[in-house]
Structure 1
């Protein structure tokens, strides 16, 4: 098993703990926060984890670790990456910093084991790119637009500080994974009550799009995603005037994340998937001995 450490004690960090504890390939060796006595650190300790304060320096003092999950923010991640660069640690970035190799499990997840610094784009990227990539393989797009809507109670302080990074990183990833000459990304933070589910509305402009084959491509992408994120659901797919519009909703299905916070669930699931791609080959070798 790989020893894993988590930077960050918000809802993402706590969900990662439970996912690691349920993984056959990972074990949680340390959870690091910044503020002594914080609620997140207390909850991590209640879950049986060793905890520390002091950020990346505390993690380095306690290491080495096979895998580090960075669930802090895009401003701090480059410094974290620099300090871990000379170690053998696999760094999985849950922030929209866009300095690692971008991995989306159902698109290029098979490449995760080849990279030590993995970026996960953004929650919007993880939810939209499986569908967009599937469509782009048959219908090369000239334009892609993605509008995400997240409940305000599921968007923490770090995410609000990183809105510009979210938009830039998601837009660039759309261009990379679809080949679209032009892409636009928007994020709406909704204060509606009851809290709405995480929702992604996509528009793809491409020549020759037809309803039946487009729907089939979307259906396959949905099924692939549901194997990783059970609450992932395509709610509509319509084609008209050389455009396909697809709407996806992601409901959280895990105990520590409210059902409306699918934005958190989709990226924590991707993080564990990426880390397990590094752990599985080692497990296979150990079994062969």
Structure 2
């Protein structure tokens, strides 16, 4: 609970689905206040939604912050990997910390259940990808349950509703794969990793499902189940729709765990868990900034 009543001023660049959902989540947060919502076109659905909620908006992209740095304490960049590179050059000079929602690979990689406090000390925090946020905690749970073993290979397959994959997601598929694989190895200590993203066109739309497969010679299923259950409980504190679909299973030298992510339905449909998990993770990081700033 925010005993001080003070809120961190945030600006959101990008008025698409991710940016608009972030806006709604920020409005619901007791630690954050959206002082500026930024896009490029006043006719966009995102800016129209923000205006209807009484939020200050701009169609001047990064220039809106460049011309008025005091408008915010922290920035969410919900544009694209390419745009973030240019934005970060400007924000760094302005001394504005940024939470990067794109797979740009510039900042400190963050999975809140694993390294929230450490990563939030950085001025540029990368939220990896939806597949990374869903899978890395499970890969880390498997590692913790088998601390004496070297993980040789981790494979992550995420299936999401095709309708939940917007233009930015589709344009950044290569960056998605590269960023997810790098983060999996970094957090799990695995020698190799493979990330696969499936856009499922099924109607009605499916919830996000992510399967994590790890090669192991032996497995301690009892300990692993405890680690996975504890990990899921930790994630549910900031992603309520995160749940276990297939408990740890061991066969043919492989451990398999499958999770499901259903969205909160704040702005996006509940089936868009792939967008919800990365946004919930980002909001938890921003709230950590706020708590530190105001001594909560």
Question: One fold, TM greater than 0.5?
Answer: yes
Alignment of 1:194-233 (within 5 A): 194-233=204-243
Among 76, 94, 112, the alignment partner of 2:83 is 76
Per-residue deviation, residues 50-101 of structure 1 (Å, max 9, x unmatched):
1111211123223232110011111111111111111221100011111100
Inter-partner Cα distance in structure 2 for 1:90 and 1:24:
20
Equivalent pairs counted in the alignment come to: 285
Does the 8 A contact of 1:32 with 1:59 survive in 2?
no
Q: Does 1:122 align with 2:129?
A: yes
Matched residue SS, 2:24: helix
Q: Does 1:92 align with 2:103?
A: no
Among 163, 166, 181, the alignment partner of 1:153 is 163
Map of 1:47 onto structure 2: 53
Alignment of 1:20-39 (within 5 A): 20-39=26-45
Does the 8 A contact of 1:121 with 1:169 survive in 2?
yes
Map of 2:272 onto structure 1: 261
Inter-partner Cα distance in structure 1 for 2:184 and 2:257:
15
Does the 8 A contact of 1:103 with 1:109 survive in 2?
yes
Inter-partner Cα distance in structure 2 for 1:180 and 1:150:
25
Map of 1:277 onto structure 2: 288
Q: State the Cα distance separating 1:226 from its structure 2 match.
A: 0.9
Matched residue SS, 2:295: helix
Does the 8 A contact of 2:213 with 2:257 survive in 1?
yes
Does the 8 A contact of 1:112 with 1:277 survive in 2?
no
Map of 1:238 onto structure 2: 249
Does the 8 A contact of 1:92 with 1:271 survive in 2?
yes
Does the 8 A contact of 1:100 with 1:118 survive in 2?
yes
What TM-score, normalized to structure 1?
0.95
Matched residue SS, 1:255: coil
Q: State the Cα distance separating 1:44 from its structure 2 match.
A: 1.0
Inter-partner Cα distance in structure 1 for 2:249 and 2:179:
27
Per-residue deviation, residues 144-170 of structure 1 (Å, max 9, x unmatched):
000111111101001100000000000
Does the 8 A contact of 1:25 with 1:283 survive in 2?
no
Map of 1:19 onto structure 2: 25
Does the 8 A contact of 2:145 with 2:223 survive in 1?
no
Note the residue ranges of structure 1 that are not aligned, 5 or more in a row. Answer: none
Map of 2:3 onto structure 1: none
Inter-partner Cα distance in structure 2 for 1:67 and 1:55:
15
Per-residue deviation, residues 93-145 of structure 1 (Å, max 9, x unmatched):
01111110001000101213311110011011001111111111232311000
Inter-partner Cα distance in structure 1 for 2:101 and 2:121:
18
Note the residue ranges of structure 2 that are not aligned, 5 or more in a row. Answer: 1-6
Mean Cα displacement is larger for which, 4-13 or 52-61?
52-61
Matched residue SS, 1:280: helix
